[in-house]
Chain A
Amino acid sequence: MLAAGRSEAEPEAVAALAELCQIYWAPLYGFVRSRGHTVHDAQDLTQSFFAYLLEHKVYARVDRRKGRFRSFLLASLKNFLADTADRERTLKRGGAQIFLPLHEEQAQGAESLFQTYSGMSNEDRLFDRSWAEALVAAALERLSADYKREAKEQLFNELRMFVAGGADPLPSYAELGQRLGIAESTLRSHVTRLRARYREALRTEVRRTVDTEKQVDQELRELLHVLTEM
């Protein structure tokens, strides 16, 4: 199912899972918050949940054909929260030794995201929506880093709107080309390339949580469906 879960106890697999946990920390935190926990409790619970996942290798017990990483995480979190008392006992016995760092910025961002979508009636939908946010943020961040590495950060920032949309209408290629001092034809090719690279970055992110290209499409459609339902 998950790249991280394909082989038990491999350090690389654990590292990959830890990285995914960092990326998707906010949706899980938001879900915990939607269950009525306070900010600090929700932070503790989310951290404990990830530590629990890593320590108990829960991912390795899941049949890869049964679902996607997103559904798996949500189901696991629900089980985890349902058994809070056991979780607390575990902690008191000295469990949860795996420590995932939590940055203040990350915690604040997750809380802000929760506040934005806390009005949603369905907590699963809130989770999915937050997941979509985390997914595209990771893809954009990866792409931005690539452009920065190629010393094209400014180009990325100028053309980002062709991928991310926005409230303002897109400028014409001629207008933007003139402002940036780039030939129209060159600008078109830059935009096409940016879209293609973003597409690949996004699908790469999704691919880390599912098995096949078909599932990548399904996952994206499902997340898109959540947005269009609202």
Chain B
Amino acid sequence: MGKPLASAVGVCSMCGKPLNAKGDCLACLLRTGLEETTVETKPAVLAFGDFEVEQHADGSCWELGHGAIGVTYLAADRVLRRRVALKVIEVPAAARGSQAVRDRFLREARAAATLRHPNVAAVFQFGTSPDATHCYYAMELIEGETLAARVRRDGPLNAKKALKVAIQIARALTAAAAHGLIHRDLKPSNIMLTSDSEVKVIDFGLAKAITDATGDMDLTHGEFVGTPTFASPEQFGGGPVDARSDIYALGGTLWFALTGLPPHPGKTLEEIRDRKKRDGLPVAQLIARKVPDPLVKLLRSTLAIDPAKRPASARELMEALESCRRNLSRRIGASSEETALRNEAFARALTDAKACASDPESLQALFDSAAKKASTISKKPFKQNWAYLQTMLRLIRTYHRGEYDQVSDDALVWIIAALNYLVDPFDLIPDTIPLLGLVDDAHVVELVTDKTRRTLDAFMAWETAAH
């Protein structure tokens, strides 16, 4: 017999056995190996009302999304035998006993359930857990991805695509207004894009109905629940919130779709709030993306601090957006002939570039040749892009001289991407032509588009200063 065992590291709080030198309980660790698998390896099914949360093969809950105020699960409707998206929200402790909060949630839920529109994810059913700790509602399951995810993956949308999305959101808001509903948390992650590029707005009114009731939007009394990035200025001050807040949020969402950035980014709630009040809109971002003037003007009014200066209704905004789209279409139609020639020249240049990607020696000649071909077409449709095309050619020359600090195949890839981007800002080149040609990995695509955007921004600033 000798010294006591491991007495210095204490005993296990669960079983009272001495812990080992690492502070672990060997007894607990061994006992777990003897637990019954039937109970432990298959976690209890999470269920709310008629809905059972689906599980992955390993037994974990199948989450579709996760936000600050709740989790959205893939769930099965046990009665109607269909799959739904089930949003589960933990009711703040302060609101659990409140009849007013319950009434408000039910009122909003009933209104949302009556809203049926092609651009709104339908709400099927709603309820609260027996212990009143959670509210939930079942929504139409949308196959697709959010606008936020799309932009993160592929970069900003061109004006034509962004307008198509914004118009559908405005239609959804118009339909909601007819039911007296406002969204209150419109943002890119609440916009679903289906595989057919149709828009479905999710989470109408319901999530915020619960959290707002507890005063969470009031900065002086609690934390801002959800993301403040796209919220209207009046939502920060606890002022009256009406349909014009959704209009502001739609403006921010459209801005994000066009630039990949929110108009007023920030790391803290206070920073975002102050920027919204203090800073003007960074319109240079829109100009850098060649957003047409009428749309820039519309975004300015939509994102006005004073709600009275915004479009008065979702319908008015929708009509203004449609007008922008018509102008854009006319502009595109006028240059369709030149576009066809340009497409052909560019496609050939891209194909050739891919063929000799490993041969930097011939690249300059290749791009000079592409530029020469392009120059045989009327420069008029290139009027805005020509300077950037020249800039990119200068960049390629620098690359060949070994002066560029990212001399790599990766650099070559994004140069090609940039060339594509600047030649075709309105996405006129048919989708059958691979945009990035050399890359197919989503992560690389994201990297490339991000680099492309930043490079172009930098060169545009340089161009502006130089000329």
Contacts and interface: CB of A to CB of B under 8 A. Distances in A.
A121 interface: yes
B285 to A, nearest CB: 31
Interface in A69-120: 112-113, 116-120
A206 B1 CA distance: 30
Interface string B66-89: 000011000000000000000010
A185 B46 contact: yes
A230 B33 contact: no
Interface stretch (A23-31, A48-56, A161-169): A161-169
Interface string B378-419: 000000000000000000000000000000000000000000
Contact of B5 (A116, A164, A188, A228): A116
A224 interface: yes
Contact of B33 (A118, A183, A188, A206): A206
A21 interface: no
A127 interface: no
A69 to B, nearest CB: 16
Interface string B1-45: 111111001111111011111011111111111110100111100
Interface string A193-230: 10111111011001000000000110011011001101
Interface string B39-75: 0111100100000000000111101000000110000
Interface string B112-155: 00000000000000000000000000000000000000000000
Nearest to B34: A220
A184 B131 CA distance: 14
A217 B34 contact: yes
Nearest to A135: B30
B216 interface: no
A228 B43 contact: no
Contacts, number: 136
A68 interface: no
A154 interface: no
Contact of B2 (A119, A193, A200, A216): A119
A165 B14 contact: yes
Nearest to A168: B13
B90 interface: yes
A7 interface: no
Interface string A119-161: 1110000000100110110011000000000000000000000
Contacts of A224: 27, 30-31, 34
Dominant secondary structure of chain B at its interface with chain A: loop
A183 B71 contact: yes
B35 A193 contact: no
Given A163-B28, A190-B60, A196-B41, A202 B10 contact: no
A110 to B, nearest CB: 12
Contact of B63 (A113, A186, A227): A186
Contact of A195 (B40, B61, B88): B40
A201 B88 CA distance: 33
Given A120-B2, A185-B61, A193-B60, A165 B25 contact: yes
Contacts of B21: 112-113, 116
A166 B2 contact: no
A79 B345 CA distance: 83
Contacts of B3: 118-119
B35 A117 contact: no
A113 B22 CA distance: 11
A38 interface: no
B10 A133 contact: no
Interface in A30-46: none
A117 B58 CA distance: 38
A5 B3 CA distance: 39
A202 B13 CA distance: 22
Given A119-B1, A119-B5, A230-B5, A202 B12 contact: no
B13 A169 contact: yes
Contacts of A184: 90
A183 B37 contact: no
Contact of B35 (A113, A132, A164, A195): A195
A192 B6 CA distance: 29
Most buried by A among B15, B27, B35, B88: B27
A170 interface: yes
Nearest to B56: A193
Contacts of A167: 9-13, 19, 23
Contacts of B17: 227-228
A166 B33 contact: no
Contacts of B46: 185, 189
A127 to B, nearest CB: 14
Contact of B20 (A133, A139, A185): A133
Q: Which residue, B27, B29, B41, has most C-beta atoms of chain A within 10 A?
A: B29
5 contacts: A119-B4, A167-B19, A168-B13, A186-B63, A198-B32
